Protein backbone atom coordinates (compact mmCIF):
# COMPACT_ATOMS: atom_id res chain seq x y z
CA UNK A 1 0.00 0.00 0.00
CA UNK A 2 1.45 3.37 -0.91
CA UNK A 3 1.36 6.23 1.55
CA UNK A 4 -0.52 8.32 -1.00
CA UNK A 5 -3.55 6.03 -0.81
CA UNK A 6 -3.53 5.43 2.95
CA UNK A 7 -6.72 6.56 4.68
CA UNK A 8 -6.53 6.56 8.49
CA UNK A 9 -10.33 6.71 8.77
CA UNK A 10 -10.77 3.35 7.03
CA UNK A 11 -7.54 1.63 8.04
CA UNK A 12 -7.74 -1.55 10.09
CA UNK A 13 -5.95 -1.63 13.43
CA UNK A 14 -3.01 -3.96 13.32
CA UNK A 15 -2.51 -5.75 16.63
CA UNK A 16 1.29 -5.62 16.47
CA UNK A 17 1.27 -1.86 15.85
CA UNK A 18 -1.15 -1.34 18.76
CA UNK A 19 1.13 -3.38 21.01
CA UNK A 20 4.14 -1.27 19.98
CA UNK A 21 2.24 1.93 20.81
CA UNK A 22 1.23 0.46 24.18
CA UNK A 23 4.82 -0.53 24.98
CA UNK A 24 6.05 2.96 24.15
CA UNK A 25 3.29 4.59 26.23
CA UNK A 26 4.06 2.38 29.25
CA UNK A 27 7.80 3.07 28.92
CA UNK A 28 7.06 6.81 28.84
CA UNK A 29 4.92 6.55 31.99
CA UNK A 30 7.63 4.59 33.82
CA UNK A 31 10.31 7.07 32.77
CA UNK A 32 8.17 10.01 33.90
CA UNK A 33 7.56 8.47 37.33
CA UNK A 34 11.29 7.73 37.67
CA UNK A 35 12.10 11.36 36.87
CA UNK A 36 9.51 12.56 39.41
CA UNK A 37 11.10 10.32 42.05
CA UNK A 38 14.48 11.94 41.42
CA UNK A 39 13.37 15.57 41.10
CA UNK A 40 10.38 17.47 42.46
CA UNK A 41 7.81 18.11 39.77
CA UNK A 42 7.68 21.76 40.87
CA UNK A 43 11.35 22.05 39.80
CA UNK A 44 10.90 20.20 36.52
CA UNK A 45 10.47 21.46 32.97
CA UNK A 46 8.94 18.97 30.55
CA UNK A 47 9.55 21.01 27.38
CA UNK A 48 11.21 24.28 26.39
CA UNK A 49 7.64 25.54 25.83
CA UNK A 50 6.31 24.86 29.36
CA UNK A 51 5.49 28.52 30.03
CA UNK A 52 3.61 28.88 26.75
CA UNK A 53 1.76 25.59 27.20
CA UNK A 54 0.79 26.47 30.77
CA UNK A 55 -0.49 29.94 29.83
CA UNK A 56 -2.40 28.58 26.85
CA UNK A 57 -3.89 25.69 28.87
CA UNK A 58 -5.25 27.89 31.66
CA UNK A 59 -6.65 30.33 29.08
CA UNK A 60 -8.24 27.63 26.89
CA UNK A 61 -9.40 25.69 29.96
CA UNK A 62 -10.06 28.16 32.79
CA UNK A 63 -11.30 25.14 34.75
CA UNK A 64 -7.65 24.46 35.59
CA UNK A 65 -7.80 27.48 37.89
CA UNK A 66 -11.50 27.61 38.81
CA UNK A 67 -12.36 23.95 39.39
CA UNK A 68 -10.13 22.28 42.01
CA UNK A 69 -11.03 18.83 40.61
CA UNK A 70 -10.24 19.58 36.96
CA UNK A 71 -6.55 18.64 37.21
CA UNK A 72 -6.84 16.27 40.16
CA UNK A 73 -9.82 14.08 39.31
CA UNK A 74 -10.09 14.06 35.54
CA UNK A 75 -13.55 13.38 34.18
CA UNK A 76 -12.61 11.22 31.20
CA UNK A 77 -16.17 11.15 29.84
CA UNK A 78 -16.37 14.95 29.82
CA UNK A 79 -12.87 15.27 28.35
CA UNK A 80 -13.73 12.82 25.55
CA UNK A 81 -17.24 14.15 24.88
CA UNK A 82 -17.99 15.92 21.57
CA UNK A 83 -17.48 19.34 23.17
CA UNK A 84 -14.41 18.20 25.11
CA UNK A 85 -12.79 16.70 22.01
CA UNK A 86 -13.42 19.90 20.07
CA UNK A 87 -11.87 22.11 22.76
CA UNK A 88 -8.86 19.85 23.19
CA UNK A 89 -8.34 19.48 19.44
CA UNK A 90 -8.24 23.28 19.05
CA UNK A 91 -5.71 23.49 21.89
CA UNK A 92 -3.53 20.64 20.63
CA UNK A 93 -3.46 21.63 16.98
CA UNK A 94 -1.69 24.85 17.96
CA UNK A 95 1.39 22.73 18.67
CA UNK A 96 1.32 20.54 15.56
CA UNK A 97 4.48 22.10 14.12
CA UNK A 98 6.25 23.05 17.35
CA UNK A 99 5.97 20.09 19.77
CA UNK A 100 7.34 16.77 18.61
CA UNK A 101 4.80 13.93 18.74
CA UNK A 102 2.15 16.43 19.91
CA UNK A 103 -0.64 13.90 19.31
CA UNK A 104 1.17 10.66 20.15
CA UNK A 105 -0.76 8.44 22.56
CA UNK A 106 0.43 8.81 26.14
CA UNK A 107 -0.72 7.58 29.55
CA UNK A 108 -2.04 10.12 32.05
CA UNK A 109 -2.99 9.55 35.67
CA UNK A 110 -6.60 10.60 36.29
CA UNK A 111 -5.67 11.46 39.90
CA UNK A 112 -2.14 12.79 40.46
CA UNK A 113 -2.15 11.71 44.11
CA UNK A 114 -1.91 8.10 42.96
CA UNK A 115 0.48 6.07 40.83
CA UNK A 116 -0.37 4.64 37.43
CA UNK A 117 -2.86 1.80 37.88
CA UNK A 118 -5.45 0.29 35.58
CA UNK A 119 -8.18 2.34 37.28
CA UNK A 120 -6.14 5.56 37.39
CA UNK A 121 -4.81 5.64 33.84
CA UNK A 122 -6.25 7.40 30.81
CA UNK A 123 -4.88 7.14 27.26
CA UNK A 124 -4.54 10.68 25.86
CA UNK A 125 -2.62 12.60 23.18
CA UNK A 126 0.74 13.95 24.35
CA UNK A 127 -0.47 17.58 24.44
CA UNK A 128 -3.17 16.70 26.96
CA UNK A 129 -0.54 14.95 29.06
CA UNK A 130 1.69 18.03 28.87
CA UNK A 131 -1.12 20.45 29.73
CA UNK A 132 -2.13 18.46 32.81
CA UNK A 133 1.35 17.53 33.99
CA UNK A 134 2.84 21.02 33.54
CA UNK A 135 -0.09 22.38 35.56
CA UNK A 136 0.30 19.68 38.21
CA UNK A 137 4.02 20.28 38.49
CA UNK A 138 3.61 24.05 38.80
CA UNK A 139 1.05 23.55 41.55
CA UNK A 140 3.21 20.98 43.40
CA UNK A 141 0.69 18.18 42.86
CA UNK A 142 3.45 15.73 41.90
CA UNK A 143 5.99 16.64 44.60
CA UNK A 144 4.70 13.80 46.82
CA UNK A 145 6.42 11.31 44.49
CA UNK A 146 9.85 12.83 45.17
CA UNK A 147 9.08 13.23 48.88
CA UNK A 148 8.07 9.57 49.20
CA UNK A 149 11.17 8.42 47.34
CA UNK A 150 13.43 10.42 49.69
CA UNK A 151 11.94 9.59 53.08
CA UNK A 152 14.64 8.62 55.57
Q: What is the CATH number of the domain that holds 77?
A: 1.10.3560.10
Cα–Cα distance measured from residue 131 to residue 10, given in angstroms and rounded to the nearest whole number: 30
pTM of the model: 0.87
Does 8 map to a domain?
no
Check residue 101 and give its pLDDT: 87
Is 120 among the domain residues?
yes
Question: Is the residue at 3 inside a domain?
Answer: no
Instruction: Give 13's pLDDT tier (boundaries 50, 70, 90).
Output: low
Query: How many Cβ atoms sit within 10 Å of the Cβ of residue 128?
Result: 21
**Residue 2's pLDDT is what?**
43
User: Number of folded domains in the chain?
Assistant: 1
Residue 122: strand pairing partners? 108
96-112 pLDDT tens trace: 999 988 888 899 999 99
Structural domain contains residue 125: yes
Q: Can you give the pLDDT at residue 31? A: 95
Strands (DSSP E) along 18-133, which ranges? 105-109, 121-125
Domain of residue 51 covers 18-39+46-150
Q: Which of 89-93, 117-121, 122-126, 148-152 has the lowest mean pLDDT?
A: 148-152
> Is 64 part of any domain?
yes
pLDDT digits (tens, 9 = 90+) for 73-83: 999 999 999 99
Amino acid sequence: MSLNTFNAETAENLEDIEKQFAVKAVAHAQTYMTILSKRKGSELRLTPKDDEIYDHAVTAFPEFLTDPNFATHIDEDKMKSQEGKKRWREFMNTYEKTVEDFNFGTLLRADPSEDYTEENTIFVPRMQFLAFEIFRNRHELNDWIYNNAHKN
